[in-house]
Amino acid sequence: MPEIRVVNFCKYFGKVKAVDNVSFDVKDGEFVALLGPSGCGKTTTLLTLAGIYKPTAGEIYFGDELVNDVPPKYRSVGMVFQNYALYPHMNIFENIAFPLRAKKLPRDEIEKRVKEVARKLMIDQLLDRRPSQISGGQQQRVALARALVKEPAILLFDEPLSNLDAKLRMLMRAEIKHLQSELGITSVYVTHDQAEAMTMASRIAVFSMGKLVQYGTPDDVYDRPKNMFVAAFIGNPPMNFLEGFTVVGDNQKLHARRGNIRVELPKEARNRLENAPRENLVLGIRPEHIKIHFKEKENTIPGLVYVLEPLGRDLIVNVKLEDTDEIVKIFAEPGVDFEEGQKVYMEPWVDKIHLFDPQTEETLL
Ligand SMILES: Nc1ncnc2c1ncn2[C@@H]1O[C@H](COP(=O)(O)OP(=O)(O)OP(=O)(O)O)[C@@H](O)[C@H]1O
Ligand SMILES: [Mg+2]
């Protein structure tokens, strides 16, 4: 039985449709991310799960219970907000211990739990200080520790790592993931950082403008994006899009063609494209799914090396197409040298090609 079920949920603020007809479920003990750009309705959804907002329409279930009208304090929900509120007059230890004292746990049990969670979140050196005497990122981790230590039935996170530097974010996302799976607490985690959602969650709900665009595993949303929004939002650098392709076929294979560019399409394309539009389509290819050749070859796209972006382990080659301003980003194979201005031929992996309808922006393959 799903632990949380959101059914046709809408939340309107006057004319603003903050969340519009969204349905998804979170299994018992699962870690789900709500992912999307600023203003897409993530916090609104989370606050409704917490009971702070009531749905304008639709139902929220925890287990079998309809909780639409259940106030926050009866929901056994822990929440880490975008703006964390710590008790200013208590030191960090007492801030974290607060929910355990409220539960009247034995003193040594409280001390053990607080120290353990503080060590994992790397704030164990700060336990004597007050919130005003630690940094914003440290305060954020104290708020996180306080929510985790309480071990509620459901944990709701709203961008809990937003104030940390990139390196600390990476450390913390692994710690939170580990703690969550150890405690087995059903969790919903709001973020606009696709890397955070991909690395932490077992399923990702991708939101755009108040709507749920796609709900699936990290592999689903990465390898089988439903539309151009998801394809562009997930992955860094994002998927490359090239517009204006026509599908042409002989009895053997289908190709996508634009001018003198011709690339082979995957086998399934023949069935999938039967009733689909065939002109003016958008070709999508991820940066790691293109092989660069230095000699002309069939099924390749010619271009000139525009700029190189070395990342240490990876090298991103930016290739500018001839006669257009389009730039394609490619993860180069290791050990190959490139020069700016060099002529290259890009070969997309046939079975990794995406094709989108330019009107609906939905995938066709
Ligand atoms: N109390 C409110 N009154 C009116 N409009 C609101 C209210 N709260 C949110 N909104 C609007 O609803 C939409 C969704 O807001 P929400 O806070 O859920 O976005 P978000 O996805 O959490 O964004 P962010 O990543 O910036 O935190 C926005 O357009 C916002 O302006
Ligand atoms: Mg928000």
Q: State the pLDDT confidence band at 251, using cuts at 50, 70 and 90.
A: low
The residue among 199, 233, 267 that closes a domain is 233
CATH number (domain holding residue 268)? 2.40.50.140
Same domain, 247 and 105: no
pLDDT recorded at residue 275 = 83
Q: How far apart are CA 29 and CA 37, in angstroms?
A: 26
Same domain, 110 and 200: yes
Longest dimension (CA), the chain: 77
pLDDT recorded at residue 21 = 98
Q: How far apart are CA 223 and CA 283, in angstroms?
A: 15
- Cα-to-centroid distance, 300 and ligand 2 (Å): 43
Same domain, 203 and 126: yes
Same domain, 214 and 314: no
Q: Does the C-beta of 205 come closer than 6 Å to ligand 1?
A: no
Q: From 9, 12, 13, give the residue whose CB has the most ligand 1 atoms within 8 Å, as the site to mutate.
A: 13
CATH number (domain holding residue 167)? 3.40.50.300
Same domain, 174 and 278: no
Q: Does the C-beta of 5 come closer than 6 Å to ligand 1?
A: no
Q: What is the pLDDT of residues 34-90, one digit of tens each?
A: 999 999 999 999 999 999 999 999 999 999 999 999 999 898 898 888 677 899 999
Q: State the pLDDT confidence band at 271, using cuts at 50, 70 and 90.
A: confident
Q: State the pLDDT confidence band at 162, using cuts at 50, 70 and 90.
A: confident
DSSP per-residue string spanning 173-215 = HHHHHHHHHHHT-EEEEEES-HHHHHHH-SEEEEEETTEEEEE
Total domains present in the chain:
2
Mean pLDDT of 142-162: 90
pLDDT recorded at residue 186 = 96
Classify residue 365: in a domain, yes or no.
Answer: no
Return the residue whose CA atom lies nearest to atom 28 of ligand 1: 39
Same domain, 29 and 124: yes
Same domain, 29 and 120: yes
Classify residue 362: in a domain, yes or no.
Answer: no
Domain that holds residue 148: 2-233
Q: Give the residue with greater pLDDT, 198 vs 174.
A: 198
Q: Does the C-beta of 180 come closer than 6 Å to ligand 1?
A: no
Q: What is the pLDDT of residues 90-135, one digit of tens each?
A: 999 999 999 999 889 999 999 999 999 999 889 999 999 999 999 8
Q: Does the C-beta of 43 come closer than 6 Å to ligand 1?
A: yes
Q: Does the C-beta of 47 come closer than 6 Å to ligand 1?
A: no
| Helix (H) or strand (E) run with residue 97 in it | helix 92-102
Classify residue 189: in a domain, yes or no.
Answer: yes
Q: What is the pLDDT of residues 333-362, one digit of tens each?
A: 888 899 999 999 999 999 999 999 999 999
- Cα-to-centroid distance, 180 and ligand 1 (Å): 27
Q: State the pLDDT confidence band at 2, using cuts at 50, 70 and 90.
A: low
pLDDT at 156 over 90: yes
Q: Does the C-beta of 38 come closer than 6 Å to ligand 1?
A: yes
Classify residue 120: in a domain, yes or no.
Answer: yes
pLDDT at 255 over 90: yes
Classify residue 363: in a domain, yes or no.
Answer: no
Same domain, 102 and 250: no
Same domain, 202 and 121: yes
pLDDT at 1 over 60: no
Give the ligand whose atoms come closest to the C-alpha of residue 44: 1
Q: What is the pLDDT of residues 209-224, one digit of tens each?
A: 999 999 999 999 999 9
Same domain, 186 and 59: yes
Same domain, 19 and 51: yes
Burial class from Cβ neighbours inside 10 Å (0-12, 13-18, 19+) for residue 294 reads exposed
Phi, psi angle pair for 22, to nearest 5°? -105, 135
Classify residue 364: in a domain, yes or no.
Answer: no
Q: From 15, 17, 40, give the residue whose CB has the most ligand 1 atoms within 8 Å, as the site to mutate.
A: 40
Same domain, 80 and 63: yes
Q: State the pLDDT confidence band at 303, using cuts at 50, 70 and 90.
A: very high
- Where is average pLDDT lowest: 193-207, 224-238, 268-282? 268-282
Classify residue 361: in a domain, yes or no.
Answer: no
The residue among 233, 252, 276 that closes a domain is 233
Classify residue 20: in a domain, yes or no.
Answer: yes
The residue among 233, 257, 286 that closes a domain is 233
